[in-house]
Amino acid sequence: MATSAAAVMPPVLRSRPLGALLAAEVLSTTGSMMTWLALPWFVLVTTGSAKQMTLVIAAEGAGFALFGIPSGSVLERFGGQRTMRLCDAVRAPLMLLVPVLHWSGGLSLPALASVAFVLGAASSPYMAAQRVVVAEILDEDETSVQRANALLQGATRITMLCGPALGGVLIAAVGSPVVLVIDAASYVVAFALVTALVPVARAVRESDGNDRQGVLAGVRYLLRDSLLRGWATALVIGDASFSVVFVAIPVLVYAHFGANPRLAGGFLASWGIGAVTGNVISYRSERVGGLRQAAPLVLIQAAPLWAVAAPVSAVAVAGALALSGLANGLVNPTLHSVLTLRPPAAVRAKALTAMSTASSLGTPLALAVAAPAFAAFGSRHVIAVAAAGQLAAMSYAAFVTLRHLARESA
């Protein structure tokens, strides 16, 4: 019976390197999600300023956006595994620097914003590198890559469940600086896992020298591909809007829900519960997946965010975030597979980093605008505007997807 069970076990579950990627994802991203709550909470509590809190987060987004496209050349040069290790090797000491400077009395707002900026830059090629490694491990098989994406997305979303909730408890128990130390340690463990268990990706043959030429090769590919061009445009607005919503949650709790860090973590975890559920369904059900389902699902992802802006109970806010997360968990494995495998291998590294950069371009600007808006209009009005931006962006993404499907079937 054991042999029979092993024979029918999905290949993605038998992949040791993929298991290492999953473990590294859970560890490092759990730490990052604790920091997603701990860092803004640290700034908010020490300064009492939502504006300064938002500017620090915007600095990290700016680093990611500015170095996203150039990081494609780093990924192409070093390969996925080495790039992932490089990112973690840089981020671990940088994250540790924040509490060390705080405890020594040398942490100023410019220093904190500078560290956040470099952290964003160091993170810019990480997700693209992970996708390159997944495609390499699974020999670019579309079904296997989609299932692997469901697993990786599930691992990431588990961090949305565990990270913020654990972060809220730890902030209350030991303080936000200690949480940042834990995040630094998680990068070290992830580095060790990837180094020991994930093989170095083989070099990509230069099958198309014109595609690979120059730092903007990925951008040129996205501009030529109508589906990816449309999604990149939608993600600029959509991800920026999502970032504002999530950054606004600590401010919302601070102003309207008794300044309870556990509740702030619980709200973020609610989105994670929904997303993990969606990923599990996507992985286990053959009926879930494909671009045709993506169009309605992205709309379902966006619509519930309006409830977060409303003067409703904490239960209603948590329920709206869970529904949004569920739709995200159902649709993301398909989208990540399309974004990974649609570009040819020769230009994939630069195309993926270009797409990641596109998704982050609007975030620094949106957060910079949100910073004074919190004080001027309040967190609920800011979330309402962000919810409108998310719905508009996902409506356009749905339109682009349906147009692409209509052209393919014509």
The domain that holds 119 is classified in CATH as 1.20.1250.20
Asked if the structure places residue 208 within a domain, the reply is no
Ramachandran region, residue 258 (left: φ > 0; alpha: ψ -120 to 50; beta: rest):
left
Asked if the structure places residue 403 within a domain, the reply is yes
Rg of the chain over all Cα atoms, to the nearest angstrom: 20
User: Does this model's pTM top 0.75?
Assistant: no
Under 8 Å between Cβ of 300 and 394: no
Q: From CA 55, how far away is CA 127, in angstroms rounded?
A: 24
Structure confidence at residue 334 (pLDDT): 82
Structure confidence at residue 6 (pLDDT): 40
Residue 269, Cα to own-chain centre: how many angstroms? 15
- Within 13 Å, how many C-alpha atoms sit on residue 308's CB side? 36
Sign, CA dihedral 86-91-96-97, equals positive
Range of the domain at 235: 9-200+213-409
Tokens of 349: 């590294």
Place of tokens 């800011």: 382
Structure confidence at residue 35 (pLDDT): 75
| C-alpha separations of 85 from 121, 159, 191, 197, 267 in Å | 14, 20, 5, 12, 32
Asked if the structure places residue 205 within a domain, the reply is no
Structure confidence at residue 140 (pLDDT): 74
Asked if the structure places residue 207 within a domain, the reply is no
Structure confidence at residue 299 (pLDDT): 93
Structure confidence at residue 215 (pLDDT): 66
Structure confidence at residue 12 (pLDDT): 58
User: Which of 320, 322, 323 lies closest to 310 in space, CA to CA?
Assistant: 320
Asked if the structure places residue 1 within a domain, the reply is no
Instruction: Split the chain (410 residues) into runs of 10 and give each run's mean pLDDT.
Output: 40 72 80 74 73 78 80 83 91 90 82 88 85 80 76 72 73 81 88 87 48 70 87 87 84 80 80 85 75 88 90 88 91 82 82 79 76 82 90 93 85
Q: How many domains does the chain have?
A: 1
Under 8 Å between Cβ of 393 and 241: yes
Structure confidence at residue 257 (pLDDT): 82
Asked if the structure places residue 180 within a domain, the reply is yes
Asked if the structure places residue 4 within a domain, the reply is no
Residue type, 25: E
Residue 131, Cα to own-chain centre: how many angstroms? 13
Structure confidence at residue 168 (pLDDT): 75
